[in-house]
Amino acid sequence: MQIKKLIPALALSLTTFYCLGQDVNKLIQQNDVERIIKTLASDDMQGRATFTPGIEKAAQFIEGQFKQIGLQPFPGDDSFRQNFKMTRLKALKTLVSINGKIIPADSAYVDSKAPAINWSNNADVKVVKLSAGMNFRDEYISYKRSGKNMLILVDPQFTAIFNKIKDVAGKGTIVTKTDDNGSLVFVLGNYDNLKSFDVSYTSKTEDLTLFNVAGVIPGKTKPDEYVIFSAHYDHLGILKPVQGDSIANGADDDASGTTAVIELAKYFKTLNNNARTLVFVTFTAEEIGEFGSQHFATTVDPAKVIAMFNIEMIGKKSKFGKNAAFITGFERSDFGPILQKNLEGSPYKFHPDPYPEQDLFYRSDNASLARVGVPAHTISTDEIDIDKLYHTVKDEVSTLDIGNITSMIKALAISSKSIVAGIDTPTRIPKLEK
Ligand SMILES: [Zn+2]
């Protein structure tokens, strides 16, 4: 290269480098972060519980932001809203007879995805005893895993836990689809001499609509390679009142992550130089079973997804202090080291998850994509082992450090740089067979 050409080139590259640092501070502003999180976590949104008017309001707000930013709908969708359906089953009538005698209604409950059950000494129904001294929880899990239809005779030793689970079951179950297999019928009492049984159960089924909100910035040179930025926008809704407050605002969990997704969309749209397609998605129904991300995983070819940045609870400074977060499942791919490399020279630092015993990798929406092989990780700052506000009505904006959220959004913007630019591709995560 000739010398007179070298100087402008050098000047240009220095400018680019300088701008990258400056862009983050210029484009990601604390007052905007505050505006978004205050809206999402306001009492007006009633804690954003799935299937409530509160989450509808939150979805409309996010759609409005995506529109203003100039995102496009996710490929295959005609709007930002990604609708899907689930079914709620609620017991109408449960009648169980043992040895020809009807047992009292409060001594039986059904855990089932079937709209109705009619058993009469069926040979394919396995009858088991949950005897005194066994571990209720472990046995329950093994029944569930078996996928078999079972009649379970529960020793009266377990009356307290039986009643608790019966109460929860009474609120109904939400399923992706109904299933006549794997029904569990629990009966409380001593039945040493079981000769015959009859179960007659009917439920009320109701179709419910749920929605993720997703928008994209198409990639300039690698449009078929997706990088996902996600968070869940649902929360717990209304809980038992504590000092007159019953709204679980979910400011940290996960209005903070949702705010990050919106801010990052705005940031990358302004830069508008992403090689890969960037997908910004806020999931519904995380708190009741990660249903939103599970649905999303069925709408995308996992092979196209290069990486997923799932953001959960970045509202308080981390165990590692200010300007630091952790990455779940750090050892499962080289996603973490790539982010760390991009953060070198910045004020920010990402660490491996310091709470491996909490199994956080499988406790958020990243798991829905990780199961199908995507390097999908959650980034968080929460001190989950000592966080007393977690899942309480006290998770409010006033308890958060908006500066921390703003720094973490900047850190996410910088740490994702080489992946967004199509330079780095994290290693895949082994698929989970199910
Ligand atoms: Zn959460």
315 and 399 share a domain?
yes
149 and 227 share a domain?
no
The Å distance, Cα 342 to ligand 1 centre, comes to 26
What are phi and psi for residue 114, nearest 5 degrees? -90, 140
pLDDT in tens, the chain (434 residues): 444 444 445 444 444 444 455 689 999 999 999 999 999 999 999 999 999 999 999 999 999 999 999 999 999 999 999 999 999 999 999 999 999 999 998 999 999 999 999 999 988 999 999 999 999 999 999 999 999 999 999 999 999 999 999 988 888 888 988 999 999 999 999 988 899 999 999 999 999 999 999 999 999 999 999 999 999 999 999 998 888 889 999 999 999 999 999 999 999 999 999 999 999 999 999 998 899 999 999 999 999 999 999 999 999 999 999 999 999 999 999 999 999 999 999 999 999 999 998 889 988 999 999 999 999 999 999 999 899 999 999 999 999 999 999 999 999 999 999 999 999 999 999 887 65
215 and 139 share a domain?
no
134 and 236 share a domain?
no
Q: How many domains does the chain have?
A: 2
The Å distance, Cα 109 to ligand 1 centre, comes to 30
pLDDT at 6: 46
Q: In a 3-state reduction of DSSP, which class is residue 80?
A: coil
Q: Write down the pTM of the prediction.
A: 0.86
Q: What residue spans of 300-401 are helical by DSSP H? A: 335-343, 366-370
The Å distance, Cα 41 to ligand 1 centre, comes to 13
Domain end position, chosen among 165, 195, 225: 195
The Å distance, Cα 107 to ligand 1 centre, comes to 35
The Å distance, Cα 246 to ligand 1 centre, comes to 18
The Å distance, Cα 250 to ligand 1 centre, comes to 8
Q: In a 3-state reduction of DSSP, which class is residue 39?
A: helix
The Å distance, Cα 407 to ligand 1 centre, comes to 19
Burial class (CB in 10 A: 0-12, 13-18, 19+), 331: exposed
- Domain carrying residue 111: 101-195
The Å distance, Cα 315 to ligand 1 centre, comes to 12
pLDDT at 14: 45
Rounded CA gap, 315 and 272, in Å? 27
Domain end position, chosen among 140, 172, 195: 195
Is-contact 92 203, C-beta < 8 A?
A: yes
pLDDT at 123: 86
> How would you label 385-420 residue by residue, b for 16+ Cβ within 10 Å and e otherwise?
eeeebeebbbbbbeebbbebbbbbbbbbbbbbbebb
The Å distance, Cα 380 to ligand 1 centre, comes to 10
Rounded CA gap, 45 and 52, in Å? 9
The Å distance, Cα 27 to ligand 1 centre, comes to 26
The Å distance, Cα 245 to ligand 1 centre, comes to 20
Strand-strand pairing, 108-111 and 184-188: antiparallel
Q: DSSP string covering 181-241, please?
A: SS-EEEEES--SS---EEEEEEEEEEEEEEEEEEEEE--SSEEEEEEEEEEE--B-EEEEE
pLDDT at 16: 46
Strand-strand pairing, 126-130 and 173-175: unpaired
Rounded CA gap, 145 and 304, in Å? 31
* Any domain includes 10: no
**CATH number for position 371:** 3.40.630.10
Q: Which helix (H) or strand (E) holds 403?
A: helix 402-415
* Any domain includes 204: no
250 and 147 share a domain?
no
* Any domain includes 108: yes
Token pair listed for 159 = 């009356």
* Any domain includes 12: no
How many angstroms separate the Cα of 270 from the Cα of each of 108, 120, 282, 334, 421?
59, 66, 20, 28, 15
Residue 376: CB atoms within 10 A of its CB come to 32
Measured CA angle at 321 (ends 315, 322), to 5 deg = 60
178 and 298 share a domain?
no
285 and 213 share a domain?
yes
79 and 156 share a domain?
no
- What residues have a C-beta under 5 A from ligand 1, the ion? 253-254, 312
The Å distance, Cα 119 to ligand 1 centre, comes to 40
* Any domain includes 92: no
Domain end position, chosen among 195, 223, 254: 195
191 and 213 share a domain?
no
Q: In a 3-state reduction of DSSP, which class is residue 249?
A: coil
412 and 321 share a domain?
yes
The Å distance, Cα 174 to ligand 1 centre, comes to 19
120 and 224 share a domain?
no
Burial class (CB in 10 A: 0-12, 13-18, 19+), 299: middle
